[in-house]
Structure 1
Amino acid sequence: MVRMSAEERRESVIRAAMIEFARGGYNGTSTEAIAKRVGVSQPYLFRLFAGKEAIFLAASRRCLQEVKEVFTKASEGLEGQEALHAMSAAYQGLIADDPDMLLMQMQTYVAIASAEASGDREFGEALRAGWMEMYDTAHLALGADVDETTQFLAYGMLVNVLVSMGFKADHRVWTGFYDSAQPKSDK
């Protein structure tokens, strides 16, 4: 049996935490469930991370980083509408292939809002920084056009909400997306 390094175990914990937090949220997920999914003891888990909050922050950062990487790869060598359509398709593929990625994003937003409501602004600062990296990646791919970036991310958030709510692809609520997928000159 090959032993994993601490860094490989840490990576395993982040992956497991993304799944567990995606499904149970911050408050509904125990570190015991994460440790069990990874196959380590809770004390070992806490040798890798300072606590539950540190695990959640690592999982949330990773989620945002992976979305940013999807945007980067999809838009490579493209500009404007071509970049927009490529990033949209790549994101749709990401959340279709990995529904937990979408749920982890949504849990991240809820956890930040909950922390801020109780006066903890520090919790969200690191995650806002990660979100801004994702924003900047999309923004630059869209020619640094604020309106295009805002519209792209607004549609993306609406996609997140509709998918999270379970609307099937053939539901009428998606009709506006099909119309908006056409380049502006074709409307």
Structure 2
Amino acid sequence: MTRMSADERRESVIRAALHEFARGGYHGTSTEAIARRVGVSQPYLFRLFPNKQAIFLAAATRCMARTREVFADAVEGLEGEAAQDAMANAYTQLIADDPDILQMQLQTYVAVAAAEAAGEHEFGEMVRTGWLELWDTVHVPLGADEKETAQFMAFGMLINTLAAMGFKPDHAIWEGLFPAARAKGRLEK
């Protein structure tokens, strides 16, 4: 058995944290559960990350980065409506293939709202920075049009909400929402 380097352990902590936080949220997830999933002690976990918030932020950052990567890959060489369709289809495939991505996004929004309400603005600022990078990833392929970008992101949030509520791919509520993805069965779990 080969020993993992600190970077490899850090990576495994981020993956485990994304899974655990996606399921339990910031306040409902213990660092003990994350350490157990990785197979390390809690003290070792805190040698890799200074605190629970840093672990959560690393997981949230990974989630946003993965979504940006999917969008960027989908639009390579495309623009306008073709880019919009490609990103929509790629996103619906992402959340169907990896439900933790969707759940982590939703948990991140809840955690930011709670932190803001508690006066902890730095955490929200870090998450908003990542979200703005996601916006920029979408914005350029859509012709740098604010209205198109806002509409695309609004549809994405609607998809997040409907998927999180468990609406099945064949439900009538999906009609009109990215029919190409639906026709190909990409909303199936």
* TM bracket (short chain): over 0.9
Identity of aligned residues (%): 66
**How far off its partner does 1:21 sit?**
0.1
Which residue number in structure 2 is paired with residue 185 of structure 1? none
Q: How does 1:1-187 map to 2 (within 5 A)?
A: 1-178=1-178
Give the direction of change, closer, same or farther, for the CA distance of 1:166–1:146 in structure 2 (3 Å limit). Answer: same
Residues 3 and 150 (structure 1), Cα distance of their counterparts in 2 relative to 1, 3 Å cut: same
Aligned equivalents of 2:178 and 2:58: distance in 1?
A: 35
TM-score for the superposition, normalised by structure 1: 0.94
Deviations 1:68-103 (A, max 9, x none): 111111001101001000000100010000001100
Letter in 1 for 2:72: T
1:178/1:64 CA distance change after superposition, 3 Å: closer
- Structure 1 residues without counterparts, runs of 5 or longer: 182-187
Q: Which runs of 5+ in 2 are unaligned?
A: 182-189
Take 1:179 and 1:166, find their aligned partners in 2: how far apart are those partners?
A: 18
C-alpha contact 2:70 2:91 (8 A) present in aligned 1: yes
Counterpart residue identity of residue 96, structure 2: A
RMSD: 1.2
Which stretches of structure 1, 4 residues or longer, exceed 3 Å deviation after superposition?
178-181
Contact 2:112 2:124 in 1 (8 A): yes
Letter in 2 for 1:79: E
Q: Summarize deviations over 1:108-160 as a string: whole Å, max 9, x none.
A: 00000011111111111111001100100100011101111011100000000
Residue aligned with 1:126, SS: helix
After TM superposition, give the deviation of residue 170 of structure 1 in Å: 1.2
Change in 2 beyond 3 A, CA 1:179/1:140: same
Report the Cα offset of residue 178 of structure 1: 4.8
Label 1:38 to 1:155 Cα distance change in 2 as closer, same or farther (>3 A).
Answer: same
Preserved contact between residue 13 and residue 38 of structure 2 (Cα < 8 Å): yes
> How many residues of Structure 1 are paired with residues of Structure 2 in the alignment?
181
2:186 aligned residue? none
Task: Give the TM-score normalised by the residue count of structure 2.
Answer: 0.93
Structure-1 separation of matches of 2:173 and 2:158 = 11
